[in-house]
Amino acid sequence: MLQKIAVPVLAILGFLGFWEFIVWVNGWPNYKMASPSDLPAAYVRFAPLFLEMGWQTLWRTVAGLVVAVVAGTALGMAMGFSRIARDALYPLLVGFNAIPKATLVPVIALLFIGQHDFNTVLMAFLISFFPIAVSVGIGLSTLEPEYRDILRALGASRVTIFWKIALPKTLPEFFGALKVSVTLAFIGTNLVEIVSPHGRGLGALFKSGETNGDYPLMFAVLIALAVLGIVLYYAVVALERIFAGWAERPQG
């Protein structure tokens, strides 16, 4: 337990130390490249804004992620249990995922003018549901047919087969995809906050720092986003240990 806490903390401290060293060696002023030692002053100065806008970014990211889990799981189930659905939906999903999401922000902003929260949640969903849908679809489609045949011979319904065999088998792949989707959801949220600014969220605070040439504020926002991403990531890890801890292999 101590190792799992100490190693990530030491890695983060090492990264911050290396960052500070690079800025010091090159003699960069903070209006060119902020260093970690410049960030505490920015957090103190703009503490109310960080709390308010950090919460706005967090709840909209989580909302988009929840919608992505529901929709991605439903699509994955359709592709996993039906070859026709898989052949029809997979090319569409791949094609949509290949579109740069930054190009969708102006389109969404025009379609839903003034619906800032909805636009942000929608983008977080659109950018994060693909890994979930694919992982669930692959997990279900690779279910051994022998299990299905045995359970059907014993009189089990499709619902029973899903809950007893398919769902537990898919959980490791699902949580692996969810870890990826967490970071993608933050990217979607901040795309809307930056590309289509409306004065809300950490993206708007970053844009304000950019406009005013406040590099310490800009980098403080980036670190705050990283911290929120890490918190959500470990929340998913905790859920994984609760619901799919049996799949974790002991490490020697």
Per residue in 74-119, pLDDT tens? 898 888 878 898 888 888 888 988 888 888 888 888 888 888 889 9
Find the angle CA(224)-CA(70)-CA(56) to the nearest 5 degrees: 25
The Cα–Cα gap between 99 and 117 comes to 22
Residue ranges of the domains in the chain?
47-247
Q: Which of 180, 226, 177, 251 is nearest to 11 (CA)?
A: 226
Give, to the nearest 10 degrees, the angle between helix 167-195 and helix 201-211: 30
Q: Which of 14-23, 97-106, 238-247 has the highest mean pLDDT?
A: 14-23
Contacts (Cβ under 8 Å, ≥6 apart) of 122: 64, 108, 112
The mean pLDDT of the chain is 86
Question: Residue 251 has what pLDDT?
Answer: 52
Percent of the residues in the chain that have a pLDDT greater than 70, as a whole number: 92
CATH of the structural domain 47-247, one choice from 1.10.3720.10, 3.30.720.120, 3.90.79.10, 2.40.10.480: 1.10.3720.10
Question: Residue 246 has what pLDDT?
Answer: 66
Is the pLDDT confidence value at 61 over 90?
Answer: yes
| Average pLDDT of the residues in 28-44 | 87
Question: Residue 228 has what pLDDT?
Answer: 93
| Average pLDDT of the residues in 134-155 | 75
| Average pLDDT of the residues in 220-231 | 92
The Cα–Cα gap between 184 and 195 comes to 16
The Cα–Cα gap between 54 and 185 comes to 14
Task: Say which amino acid occupies 222.
Answer: L
Enter the DSSP assignment of 248.
P
Give, to the nearest 10 degrees, the angle between helix 47-81 and helix 167-195: 140
Question: Residue 49 has what pLDDT?
Answer: 92
Tokens of 3: 């190792």
